[in-house]
Amino acid sequence: MPVSTESQPLSRRRRRISGLWLALSAVVALYLALVLGMLAATAVHSPPWRVLQSLASREIRHAIGLSLTTSTLSALLSLAVAVPIGYLLARGAFRGKPILDAALDIPIVLPPMVVGLCLLILFQTPLGQFVERVVPFTYTVAGIVLAQFVIAAAFAIRTMRATFDHLSPRPEDVAMTLGCSRARAIWSVTLPAAYRGMLAAAGVAWARSFGEFGPILVFAGATRMKTEVLPTSVWLELSVGNLEAAVAVSVLMVAAAMLVLVGIRLAGERA
Amino acid sequence: MIELRGVQHSVGRFRLDDVSFSVPSGAYGVLMGRTGCGKTTLLEIICGLRSLEAGSVFIAGRDVTDEPPGRRGVGYVPQDGALFPTFSVREQIAFALRLRRWSARDIQARVTELAEPLGLVDLLHRRPLGLSGGECQRVALARALAARPAVLLLDEPLSALDDETREQTGLLLKTTQRQQGVTALHVTHSAHEARQLADILLRLDRGHVFEP
């Protein structure tokens, strides 16, 4: 039976497209299997009673409290800095903008340990020593927040810049013709429209801060009941061979990160 | 009345040079010109969103060249409507009135006064997402007119609408402008719109405004 010449290229095209989708799906499935596989393996490694027992220790409970407090503080500070900087980068046209843009990415590309070392050295300079006399940062809780903030803010700035890039400046212009100053137009019109972006930026900053380890270890130390946050706990427990406790803390961190992720998504949906 | 005297403005290679024209009080002026010839820039200059290199802008007989946008007495309807994304239709219309500290009763009365003729009564609780192009333009028009500006500036308000809606909205624009007693300047590239609406026809070409 003769085959329609028109149908052949179409069916071949269809096969090619589905082949491509198949390949893409395979890549997604492989990557997701790796991520979910490692999480599942960690989750089932220890029986639940053992996890709870580890989490009941005084040191770990202190670390949980400290991690939650410092990450929340860093996320709020990061957002406070990211909103104006993101707005400036998205709306401002000025000489040197590409340089500023690149400079703000420095904390993202620097190795985390190096960030901690740089902070340590900064606070040895005369200016750093002066600040240290007013508010001690080195090997203190304030130092944990600062170390988290330096990196988290860079991620929050990126998120806020993308948010403002996607919002048209026109409604703000109209608000000004209706009687607002520029600042009031931003406050009344642009910021409410950027609400989801702000939630996302705070979420990213919180997650980065919650998982931060290197800079905190170098700049704030790893003193139990003082500057020990949860990533430090994992490291301390592993270094003394207590795998059970390390796993317990890891499971807790995964759960907290998931909760924040879901919470932000839900809040974003409602907005 | 809208009057521009010797207005100069340049951005990069684009230049408006010695632009002078006037639209008398209560008239519907239409400014025609090709896409990209600076029509929007000219409206933004009248709004006060762009600063001048030289020249003056008069609105209702008052020199507003150094006044901020909010004190010029203009209502501005940008091309895409530019509605406030998180505001309901009612809040958009009431925005300028709340800034002027009108009482809740007066705001309600003014919102109803504008919403009825513009067919927005059933949309007052809606947010911009999901409104049609014509509905967005009508909301933007009501919002611009709420505080009774002396001048209404319309940037290609009909260009994104389908033929039928364009015709109806065009008529609605003209009727509303007459009812509100506002001086209008409407920019467009469409000769049909200009014929349908203009009391005064102006043409912007190569940085100059002519009366054809």
CATH of residue A255: 1.10.3720.10
Domain range spanning residue A26? 1-45
For chain B, percent of residues with pLDDT exceeding 70: 100
Mean pLDDT of the A163-187 span: 96
Q: How far is A164 from chain B (nearest CA, A)?
A: 13
Mean pLDDT of the A49-71 span: 90
Mean pLDDT of the A79-108 span: 96
Residue contact B80–A174, C-beta within 8 A: no
Mean pLDDT of the A217-230 span: 94
Shared domain check, A27 and A52? no
Shared domain check, A35 and A143? no
Give backbone dihedrals phi and psi of A228, rounded to 5 degrees, phi first. Answer: -90, 115
Residue contact B76–A174, C-beta within 8 A: yes
- Which two three-digit tokens encode residue B187? 């920019």
ipTM confidence = 0.93
Residue contact A171–B69, C-beta within 8 A: no
Interface of B with A in 21-50 (CB under 8 A): 44, 47-49
CA R_g for chain A: 24
- Whether the per-residue pLDDT at A51 is higher than 50: the answer is yes
Shared domain check, A94 and A7? no
> For residue B73, what pLDDT is reported?
93
Q: How far is B96 from chain A (nearest CA, A)?
A: 5
- Whether the per-residue pLDDT at A154 is higher than 80: the answer is yes
A176 chain-B contacts, CB cut-off 8 A: 48-49, 68-70
Interface of B with A in 54-83 (CB under 8 A): 68-72, 74-76, 78, 80, 82-83
Q: CA-to-CA distance for A115 and A125, rounded, in angstroms?
A: 16
pLDDT digits (tens, 9 = 90+) for A67-80: 999 999 999 999 99
Residue contact A177–B44, C-beta within 8 A: no
Shared domain check, A119 and A199? yes
**C-alpha distances in angstroms, B201 versus A129, A138, B31, B151?**
71, 71, 6, 16
> Strand, helix or coil at A232?
helix
Residue contact B84–A180, C-beta within 8 A: no
The number of distinct structural domains making up chain A is: 2
> For residue A3, what pLDDT is reported?
44
Q: CA-to-CA distance for A221 and A228, rounded, in angstroms?
A: 8
B44 chain-A contacts, CB cut-off 8 A: 173
Shared domain check, A111 and A6? no
Residue contact A180–B99, C-beta within 8 A: yes
> For residue B146, what pLDDT is reported?
96
Q: How far is B74 from chain A (nearest CA, A)?
A: 7
Which domains does chain B carry? 2-210 (3.40.50.300)
> For residue A13, what pLDDT is reported?
56
Residue of chain B nearest A196, judged by CA positions:
B86
B100 chain-A contacts, CB cut-off 8 A: 179
Helix (H), strand (E) at residue A7: helix A7-45
- Which two three-digit tokens encode residue A166? 């996607």
Q: CA-to-CA distance for B80 and B128, rounded, in angstroms?
A: 12
B84 chain-A contacts, CB cut-off 8 A: 171, 174-175, 189, 193
Shared domain check, A210 and A160? yes
Q: How far is B200 from chain A (nearest CA, A)?
A: 24
Shared domain check, A79 and A36? no
pLDDT digits (tens, 9 = 90+) for B48-66: 999 999 999 999 999 999 9
Could you give the strand order of the β-sheet that contains B151-155, starting from the edge strand earlier in sequence? B74-77, B151-155, B183-188, B28-32, B200-205, B208-210
Q: Which residue has the tokens 């014929």?
A: B195
- Which two three-digit tokens encode residue B32? 């025609």
